[in-house]
């Protein structure tokens, strides 16, 4: 299925007027779809699976900013470290330590977002506030010099209850503002195809949008 061009242009102008960065989520979609959107000027793309990301990166222009947005297993960190632009799914302190370790081997400082658990669902990953606090403390102590915490990422519950979704986004915005007192954070990544408008209303400045642009996925 080709890229939905009208949806893309409309989305881009809406996001630009709200100063929100678009990460086009291309997981499971062919390289040709990414190329098509690249030629429209899109540079930020999000992928969920390490092997798929590594394969696509090798085939596509070097100035694409690759966002890893899925659940990252520690033993796979090393494969994406050489080129990844932003790891959005840092859902545990041990994962952050592994990213720091692998990044040091490549002399890189790798940008990360800490994923916070806000949904009322068992299936979602993320840190709770206690783990977030512990992580911030460690970052401030200077012992993880090869990672740079750029902000937070979160996913709302998969539900039709819009009030619940708004509350979860508002909760994440509150945490974002609070940790902003301790470290300079830039990005609050929340919102996908179904809920990005609500997310932006609640303070998101980075959205991760897939199916609205590339069509529905099979996987």
Report the interface residues with ligand PLP, using CB under 6 A. Answer: 25, 27, 48, 69-70, 155, 192-194, 208-212
Residue 95 or residue 144: which is nearer to ligand PLP going by CB? 95
Minimal distance, residue 8 CB to ligand PLP, in Å: 13
Distance of CA 110 to the CA centre of its chain: 14
Residue 56 or residue 208: which is nearer to ligand PLP going by CB? 208
Minimal distance, residue 91 CB to ligand PLP, in Å: 11
Residue 82 region by backbone torsions, left for phi larger than 0, else alpha for psi between -120 and 50, else beta = alpha
Going 34 to 70 to 114 to 124, the CA torsion angle's sign is: positive
Residue 4 or residue 74: which is nearer to ligand PLP going by CB? 4
Minimal distance, residue 118 CB to ligand PLP, in Å: 13
Minimal distance, residue 63 CB to ligand PLP, in Å: 22
Residue closest to ligand PLP, measured at CB: 210
Minimal distance, residue 136 CB to ligand PLP, in Å: 22
Residue 55 or residue 134: which is nearer to ligand PLP going by CB? 55
Residue 151 or residue 210: which is nearer to ligand PLP going by CB? 210
Contacts of 5 (CB under 8 A, 6+ apart): 40
Q: Please tell me the distance from the alpha carbon of residue 104 to that of residue 121, in angstroms, as a whole number.
A: 35
Residue 69 or residue 179: which is nearer to ligand PLP going by CB? 69
Do the beta carbons of residue 148 and residue 111 sit within 8 Å?
yes
Minimal distance, residue 210 CB to ligand PLP, in Å: 3
Q: Please tell me the distance from the alpha carbon of residue 155 to that of residue 138, in angstroms, as a whole number.
A: 24
């Amino acid at each position: 299925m080709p890229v939905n061009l009208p949806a893309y242009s409309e989305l881009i102008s809406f996001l630009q007027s709200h100063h929100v960065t678009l990460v086009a989520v291309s997981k499971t979609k062919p390289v040709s779809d990414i190329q098509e959107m690249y030629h429209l000027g899109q540079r930020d793309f999000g992928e969920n699976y390490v092997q798929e990301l590594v394969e696509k990166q090798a085939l596509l222009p070097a100035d694409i900013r690759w966002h890893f947005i899925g659940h990252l297993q520690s033993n796979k960190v090393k494969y994406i470290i050489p080129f990844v632009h932003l790891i959005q799914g840092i859902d545990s302190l041990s994962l952050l330590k592994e990213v720091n370790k692998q990044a040091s081997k490549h002399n890189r400082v790798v940008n990360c977002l800490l994923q916070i658990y806000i949904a009322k669902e068992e299936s979602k990953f993320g840190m709770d506030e206690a783990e977030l606090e512990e992580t911030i403390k460690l970052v401030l102590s200077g012992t993880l010099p090869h990672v740079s915490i750029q902000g937070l990422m979160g996913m709302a519950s998969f539900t039709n209850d819009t009030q619940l979704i708004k509350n979860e986004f508002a909760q994440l915005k509150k945490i974002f503002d609070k940790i902003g007192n301790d470290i300079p954070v830039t990005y609050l990544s929340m919102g996908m195809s179904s809920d990005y408008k609500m997310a932006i209303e609640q303070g998101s400045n980075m959205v991760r949008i897939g199916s609205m642009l590339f069509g529905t996925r099979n996987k």
